[in-house]
Structure 1
Amino acid sequence: MGKIYYIMGKSASGKDSIFKELKKRMPQLREIVLYTTRPIRENETEGAEYHFVNEEFLREMQEKKRVIELRSYDTKCGIWKYFTADDGQIDLEEFHYLAIGTLESYAAMTAYFSVENVVPIYVEVEDGMRLLRAVERERLQTNPKYAELCRRFLADSEDFSEKNLKTAGIKRRFQNVNFEECIGEICQYIREICDFSRKKI
């Protein structure tokens, strides 16, 4: 069986950059593209970061019982939803995968695919550094949404509490202080678990 390597972390922990770099360095891992109802951001591409869809599309997928996990966020800009769909992307008999999500979505993925097939990769950054990164990133947007940034930052403390991490079975953590070192550690960790020679690319 293949495995799904599932990247998680608080906002501005660098998980998106790590996800993109792992795709370059480990092409054996196929990407699972999630769906979202939130508006596309500058520098994002449909089908790359997410599939950007509307509520009607989500309802149709739910009616067909093809939604594996669904998250809703009551943001300063409205309710945004993110979900993983059983849309033919995932075939663990043949391939290994790389995905990104939250603790909540990780739990749903393990319930759907079994805990043995979903490997958590939890990325951490000290809160002060993380906040500075978040503000700097938001400043680059044409219309910065600082209120939403603050909401996400505060929500992370509850979402990724030590209690929740323990409940989810998260033991290994990767410190993203030095990006190259963090990527190297994650790549090595994946190689220790997985024999890519036994799966198709």
Structure 2
Amino acid sequence: MGKIYYMMGKSASGKDTLFKEVKQALPELRTITLYTTRPIREGERDGVEYFFVDDATLDCYEKQGKVVEQRAYNTVCGLWRYATVDDGQVDLDRADYLVIGTLESYEKMRGFYGEENLVPLYVEVEDGERLRRALAREREQREPKYAEMCRRFLADEKDFSEENLTRLGIRERFSNRDKEKCLDEIIGEIRHGKF
């Protein structure tokens, strides 16, 4: 039976970069592309980072009973929805997967696919460093959305509270102060779970 290695962490913890590098180091891991109604960012490609869809499309999947998990964020730019859709991407009898998401989505996917099939990979960074990284990333956007950056930063404190991490049994953490060391530890964890 395959595993879903679920990478998560607060915004600007470096999880997106680590995700890409783990995927490059372990190309046998498949990914699950999520769906979102948020606008595409510079450098993103439809079907790669996300499937960028409208609300009507997500509503249709929901009516068909295909939504595994869904989150909605009332952002300063409007309501943005993110969802994992049971669209045939996952076959745990044939493959292992690498996924990136939130603690809330991890919990719902664990309920859908089974706790024994999900392995949490929680990435953390000191809050001051996260804020510095988030600001640098936002400055690179054609139209920076600083208010949204701040909303996400503050929401993460609640979403990834110690209480929530403990409740979901997430004890192991991967510190991303040194990216190469963090990457080696995550790859080691996945290799250990696979063999």
Aligned-residue CA RMSD (Å):
0.5
Report SS of the residue matched to 1:6: strand
2:11 counterpart letter in structure 1: S
Q: Aligned residue for 1:127?
A: 127
Q: How does 1:129-148 map to 2 (within 5 A)?
A: 129-148=129-148
% of aligned pairs identical?
A: 58
Q: Aligned residue for 2:193?
A: 193
Q: In 2, Cα distance between the equivalents of 1:87 and 1:10?
A: 27
Q: Aligned residue for 2:164?
A: 164
Q: In 1, Cα distance between the equivalents of 2:7 and 2:35?
A: 16
Q: In 2, Cα distance between the equivalents of 1:78 and 1:102?
A: 19
Unaligned runs of 5+ residues in structure 1 are 196-201
1:78 aligns with 2:78: yes
1:115 aligns with 2:111: no
Unaligned runs of 5+ residues in structure 2 are none
Q: Aligned residue for 1:67?
A: 67
Shift in Å at residue 168 of structure 1?
Answer: 1.1
Q: In 2, Cα distance between the equivalents of 1:168 and 1:152?
A: 21
Q: How does 1:4-83 map to 2 (within 5 A)?
A: 4-83=4-83
Q: In 1, Cα distance between the equivalents of 2:19 and 2:33?
A: 12
What TM-score, normalized by structure 1, do the two folds share?
A: 0.96
Shift in Å at residue 10 of structure 1?
Answer: 0.1
Q: Aligned residue for 2:183?
A: 183
2:19 counterpart letter in structure 1: F
Aligned length: 195
Q: In 1, Cα distance between the equivalents of 2:176 and 2:19?
A: 12
Q: In 2, Cα distance between the equivalents of 1:190 and 1:163?
A: 25
What TM-score, normalized by structure 2, do the two folds share?
A: 0.99
Q: Aligned residue for 2:102?
A: 102
Q: Aligned residue for 1:198?
A: none
Q: In 2, Cα distance between the equivalents of 1:152 and 1:167?
A: 22
Q: In 2, Cα distance between the equivalents of 1:59 and 1:154?
A: 28
Report SS of the residue matched to 2:174: strand
Q: In 1, Cα distance between the equivalents of 2:168 and 2:138?
A: 30
2:111 counterpart letter in structure 1: A
Q: Aligned residue for 1:199?
A: none
Report SS of the residue matched to 1:88: coil
Q: In 2, Cα distance between the equivalents of 1:104 and 1:156?
A: 11
Shift in Å at residue 102 of structure 1?
Answer: 0.7
Shift in Å at residue 28 of structure 1?
Answer: 1.2
Q: In 2, Cα distance between the equivalents of 1:33 and 1:21?
A: 16
